[in-house]
Amino acid sequence: MSMTSLSSKSRRPEDIVIEGWLHKKGEHIRNWRPRYFILFHDGALLGFKTKPKLGQPFPEPLNDFMVKDAQAIRYDKPRPNMFMIRCLQWTTVIERTFYAETDESRERWIAAIELIANRYRQHMSEEPQPVHEEMMEVVSQASIDDLSSEYAAAAHAIMGQPSMPSTNSTSVSTRGEMMSIADTSEAAKRDKITMDDFEFLKVLGKGTFGKVILCKEKRTSKLYAIKILKKEVIIAREEVTHTLTENRVLQRCKHPFLTQLTYSFQTTHHLCFVMEFANGGELFTHLQKSGTFSEARSRFYGAEIVLALGYLHSLSIVYRDMKLENLLLDKDGHIKIADFGLCKEEISFGDKTSTFCGTPEYLAPEVLEDNDYGRSVDWWGVGVVMYEMMCGRLPFYSRDHQKLFELIMASELRFPSKLSAEAKQLLAGLLFKDPTQRLGGGPDDALEVCQQPFFKSIDWEKLYRKEIEPPYKPSVQSETDTSYFDKEFTSAPVQLTPPPARSGPLATVDELDEMQSNFTQFSFHNTLDSSLREASEMME
């Protein structure tokens, strides 16, 4: 998806303000790249690898910025004729650095950008602004069912088998299992959920934004993992969008190999996600102990991951954060994908996004090249984790991130001699550097991956219904066993960190209202679990 409102093909030459060659500094591989830039009257600044041909539609750009409210800043070090553009991309302020061949050329570009920016600011000051309410997308359950059934049926078709009966308890999604926050059913009229409804047992993990705690619902004695995030930190770190995305994605998704959200609620200072508790630990921990997994074990985990990603893609969701630390095992040894904060919604086949995000070792080449990218980044991630499982190391690695990125973009993939031909074929396809030629990168998406010889022995329908026995079952003694979690966390006292004391005057009502306005319509409740009461509105 481009930043600008018009596609490049619909733009007209008469709308051009200035055009020409500039050198742009890469954001991740810090080299200078020649780009032919065109600035349009609406503030769109598009960069192309070659100069667009006269009389033909503009091609898709490599760079796409909106500079109508930008600042242009001059620099002459470390090289002459440099300038930086500071502008807003979605909700994030970004900075991009350029240099021109001459000072005169630089001044022409800066003058043109400032002209557009000044016109925009004048227009904004003269006209009253419409009020935009942030509306949470409410997806009809019927549409989710259709998508889920379509994907499930396609997976069964690989084996030439009939679809699973919709009454099966582990089906992807059945009508009525989820409730939007606008639900007016009887369940929606139940009491609010508060922190007092839980007994906190052990800390499972800590991070910058908060804690994950094993808890027990007092009324039912059911165990959950509750992720408690600090609102102030989320806002300060500009993570509101990612947090709300995670909440929306979790609400929409129901799949046997994705962690399930039971409900979410908020307090004055915290956001709370109540999730199923997968006490088998991270796949990362198990691989560290084993060194490598057998191809059979890797095939089982890989197949469950493929089904889960195929389901997400069927909902036009790109996961974007595939790594061993986000792959959990439940008590029986099945995969549970966790952490949906980096998901990108509304990305179908052919759609693109451009945000740089993810863990360095798992980033796909197209992300590093500052190019738009689509859902094939997830298949690259699957390639990396499956390579780790079977080879015991990352396919590309350097402690120096600059060198790491160069390896990802240009280095040849190497395999241990012990790998089977089928495993090498699968990994080579998933780790193909061109996303358009990558395995899974076409319109068939997950089905293309499922059809690989490496997965020939998989009965996809049985796998989906969890009828295939996992190759490894975690050694957990009870439902509250946390032996697969870091003792540094599980031995820590269970308590919430209070918000930091203000050095100045107490927060005003307006300041608190402004903070809470970021999280309207956060609460959610999954009606499938009869033990749950309606998720709360914000507690006073």
Digit-coded pLDDT (tens) for 302-351: 999 999 999 888 888 888 889 999 999 999 999 999 887 675 644 444 44
The average pLDDT across 223-248 equals 84
53 belongs to an annotated ligand binding site: no
Residue 146 half-sphere exposure toward CB, CA atoms < 13 A: 5
How many H-runs (helices) and E-runs (strands) does the chain carry?
A: 14, 15
Q: Which of 5-14, 39-48, 467-476, 489-498 has the lowest mean pLDDT?
A: 5-14
Query: Which residues does residue 469 pair with via DSSP β-bridges, in sequence order?
Result: none
Q: What is the pLDDT of residues 251-283, one digit of tens each?
A: 888 899 998 888 888 888 888 889 899 989 899
Q: What is the pLDDT of residue 161?
A: 40
Q: Is pLDDT at 128 greater than 70 in this prediction?
A: no
Classified as helix, coil or strand, 287 is helix
Q: What is the pLDDT of residue 30?
A: 66
Q: Is pLDDT at 182 greater than 50 in this prediction?
A: no
State how far Cα 270 lies from the chain centre: 22
Q: Is pLDDT at 480 greater than 50 in this prediction?
A: yes
H or E, element range at 424: helix 421-430
Spatial distance between the Cα atoms of 147 and 130, rounded to a whole number of angstroms: 35
Burial (CB count <10 Å: 0-12, 13-18, 19+), residue 102: exposed
Q: Is pLDDT at 474 greater than 60 in this prediction?
A: yes
Q: What is the DSSP letter of 493?
A: -
Which of 197, 321, 330, 445 does the annotation list as catalytic? 321
Q: Which of 81-90, 256-265, 491-500, 525-534 has the lowest mean pLDDT?
A: 525-534
The average pLDDT across 51-79 equals 84
Among 191-195, 235-239, 359-363, 494-498, top mean pLDDT goes to 359-363
Q: What is the pLDDT of residue 489?
A: 81
What is the band of 367 on the pLDDT scale with cuts at 50, 70, 90?
confident
The average pLDDT across 103-112 equals 92
What is the band of 366 on the pLDDT scale with cuts at 50, 70, 90?
confident
Q: What is the pLDDT of residue 243?
A: 81
What is the band of 498 on the pLDDT scale with cuts at 50, 70, 90?
low
Dihedral in degrees, nearest 10, Cα atoms 110, 116, 122, 126: -170
Q: What is the DSSP letter of 474?
A: -
Q: Is pLDDT at 55 greater than 80 in this prediction?
A: no
Among 132-136, 297-301, 348-352, top mean pLDDT goes to 297-301
Q: Which of 64-68, 185-189, 241-245 has the lowest mean pLDDT?
A: 185-189
Q: What is the pLDDT of residue 189?
A: 41
Q: What is the pLDDT of residue 449?
A: 95
Tell me whether residue 321 is one of the annotated catalytic residues: yes
DSSP for 69-126, written as a single string: T-EEEEE-SSSTTEEEEEEEETTEEEEEEEE-SSHHHHHHHHHHHHHHHHHHHHHHHH
Read off the tokens for 65.
């910025």
Query: Which residues does residue 258 pair with via DSSP β-bridges, in sequence order?
Result: 337
Q: What is the pLDDT of residue 324?
A: 93
The average pLDDT across 108-121 equals 87
Whether residue 74 contacts residue 110, with contact meaning beta carbons closer than 8 Å, is answered with yes
Q: Which of 52-56, 420-424, 433-437, 510-514 has the lowest mean pLDDT?
A: 510-514
Classified as helix, coil or strand, 324 is helix
Whether residue 339 contacts residue 273, with contact meaning beta carbons closer than 8 Å, is answered with no
Q: Is pLDDT at 285 greater than 70 in this prediction?
A: yes
Mean pLDDT, the chain, rounded, equals 76
What is the band of 297 on the pLDDT scale with cuts at 50, 70, 90?
very high
The average pLDDT across 469-473 equals 96
What is the band of 517 on the pLDDT scale with cuts at 50, 70, 90?
low
Q: What is the pLDDT of residues 443-457, one digit of tens each?
A: 888 999 999 999 999
Whether residue 107 contacts residue 22, with contact meaning beta carbons closer than 8 Å, is answered with no
Q: Is pLDDT at 194 greater than 90 in this prediction?
A: no
Read off the tokens for 239.
């993570």
- Beta-carbon contacts of 188 under 8 Å, excluding residues fewer than 6 positions away, are 179, 525, 534
Amino acid (one-letter) located at 310: G
Q: What is the pLDDT of residue 70?
A: 84
What is the band of 2 on the pLDDT scale with cuts at 50, 70, 90?
very low
What is the band of 538 on the pLDDT scale with cuts at 50, 70, 90?
very low
The average pLDDT across 37-41 equals 92
- Selected residue with higher pLDDT from 70 and 182: 70
Read off the tokens for 69.
């409210």
Q: What is the pLDDT of residue 9?
A: 55
Cα-based distances in Å from 499 to 71, 110, 151, 153, 267 = 35, 44, 45, 49, 12
- Delineate the domains of the chain, giving CATH numbers in brackets: 8-126 (2.30.29.30), 178-279+493-525 (3.30.200.20), 283-464 (1.10.510.10)
Q: What is the pLDDT of residue 416?
A: 93
Q: Is pLDDT at 429 greater than 50 in this prediction?
A: yes
Q: What is the pLDDT of residue 234?
A: 83
- Selected residue with higher pLDDT from 37 and 91: 37
Spatial distance between the Cα atoms of 337 and 275, rounded to a whole number of angstroms: 12
Q: What is the pLDDT of residue 179?
A: 30
- Percent residues over pLDDT 90 in the chain: 32
Q: What is the pLDDT of residue 192?
A: 79
Count the residues in the chain. 540
Q: What is the pLDDT of residue 13?
A: 82
The average pLDDT across 487-495 equals 79
- Percent residues over pLDDT 70 in the chain: 72
CA nearest to 266, candidates 230, 224, 221, 212: 230
Q: What is the pLDDT of residue 75?
A: 85
Spatial distance between the Cα atoms of 63 and 396, rounded to a whole number of angstroms: 26
What is the band of 206 on the pLDDT scale with cuts at 50, 70, 90?
confident
